């Protein structure tokens, strides 16, 4: 009887391990907070930023915009999904530029689309709207962590929004997680609806994520 019970338990464990419904998904939220913790340390150090740029405007931007002391607990988290990169790209091009793209061979066309598929590229465009200095500082404050537990075939993108801190875009890829500040206006992140309206122009779908 005891032996049968042990075998039943082992069988149940094996079934759970192999079943899709029992597979343990990555802790995107926890990993994201680890990346943000490193970025928070970066923004508290003028010496760190001065390794990459030493002009006073950049250092002042660090103090006045990025170093808010508010990166411990996000008020909301959103998953960002690039729904149709090709459709979005075509909408950005002028008629003559679309004609050039359509004249490319399938191989060259695919190379163009590969460059447009990453949400990180769109994040740079968002930061560029706030000025060259903001783009430069946010680029210098990127963090990358090795995460062997991340075994995902396609990248995932999560946006962490804070009450006072600059939002952070976390990119999860094979064995790595990276973070970059996303200099959105406070009005653009005050609700899921306002964020979706903002991201629609970048061809992104916004999906709210439950946070612990």
Question: Rounded to whole angstroms, how far apart are CA atoms 30 and 59?
Answer: 30
Q: 17 lies in a domain?
A: no
Q: Is the pLDDT of residue 7 over 50?
A: no
107 pLDDT more than 60: yes
The answer to the question of residue 105 being in a domain is no
In total, how many domains does the chain have? 1
- The answer to whether position 98 is within a domain reads no
Q: Let me know if residue 114 belongs to a domain.
A: no
- For residue 183, being part of any structural domain is answered with yes
pLDDT at position 16 is 40
**What local confidence, expressed as pLDDT, does residue 203 receive?**
83
Task: Say yes or no to pLDDT of 153 above 80.
Answer: yes
Distance between CA 187 and CA 171 in Å, rounded? 23
The mean pLDDT of 142-156, rounded to a whole number, is 93
Task: Say if 107 falls within a structural domain.
Answer: no
Is residue 39 in some structural domain?
yes
Output the pLDDT for position 22: 43
pLDDT(137) > 60: yes
Q: Do the domain assignments include residue 133? A: yes
Taking the CA atoms of the chain, what radius of gyration do you get in angstroms? 21
43-95: pLDDT as tens digits: 999 999 999 988 888 999 999 999 999 999 999 999 999 887 666 677 667 88
Domain that holds residue 197: 26-85+119-209
Q: pLDDT tier at 98 (50, 70, 90 boundaries)?
A: confident
SS (H, E, C) the chain: CHHHHHHHHHHHHHHHHHCHHHCCCCCHHHHHHHHHHHHHHHHCCHHHHHCCCCCHHHHHHHHHHHCCCCCCCCCEEEEEEECCHHHHHHHHCCHHHHHHHHHCCHHHHHHHHHHHCCHHHHHHHHHHCCCHHHHHHHHHCCEEEECCCCCCCCCEEEEEECCCCCCEEEEEECCEEEEEECCCCHHHCCCHHHHHHHHHCCCEEEEEECCC
For residue 92, the model assigns a pLDDT of 66
pLDDT > 50? residue 170? yes
Average pLDDT over residues 121-139: 90
- 23/66 Cα distance (integer angstroms): 38
pTM: 0.81
Considering only the C-alpha atoms of the chain, give the largest distance between any 2 of them, rounded to a whole number of Å: 78
Is it the case that residue 113 has pLDDT exceeding 80?
Answer: no
For residues 7 and 200, which has the higher predicted lDDT (pLDDT)? 200
More confident residue, 111 or 165: 165
The answer, yes or no, to whether residue 14 has pLDDT greater than 90, is no
Beta bridge partners of 209: 77
User: What pLDDT, on a 0 to 100 scale, did the predictor assign at position 116?
Assistant: 67
Q: Considering only residues 89 and 29, tell me which one the structure prediction assigns the higher pLDDT.
A: 29
Give the pLDDT confidence score for residue 11 in this predicted structure: 40
């Amino acid at each position: 009887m005891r032996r049968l019970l042990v075998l039943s338990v082992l069988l149940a464990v094996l079934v759970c391990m192999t079943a899709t419904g029992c597979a343990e998904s990555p802790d995107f939220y926890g990993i994201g907070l680890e990346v943000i913790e490193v970025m928070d340390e970066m923004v508290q150090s003028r010496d760190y930023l001065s390794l990459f740029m030493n002009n006073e405007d950049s250092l002042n931007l660090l103090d006045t915009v990025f170093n808010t002391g508010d990166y411990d607990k996000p008020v909301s988290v959103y998953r960002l999904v690039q729904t149709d990169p090709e459709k979005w790209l075509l909408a950005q091009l002028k008629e003559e530029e679309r004609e050039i793209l359509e004249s490319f061979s399938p191989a060259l066309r695919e190379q163009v689309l590969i460059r447009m598929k990453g949400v990180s590229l769109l994040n740079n465009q968002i930061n560029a709207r706030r000025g060259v200095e903001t783009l430069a500082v946010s680029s210098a404050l990127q963090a990358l962590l090795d995460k062997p537990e991340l075994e995902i075939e396609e990248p995932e993108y999560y946006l962490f929004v804070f009450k006072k801190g600059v939002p952070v875009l976390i990119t999860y890829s094979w064995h790595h997680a990276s973070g970059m500040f996303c200099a959105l206006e406070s009005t653009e992140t005050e609700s899921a609806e306002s964020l979706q309206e903002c991201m629609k122009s970048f061809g992104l779908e916004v999906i709210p994520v439950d946070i612990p």
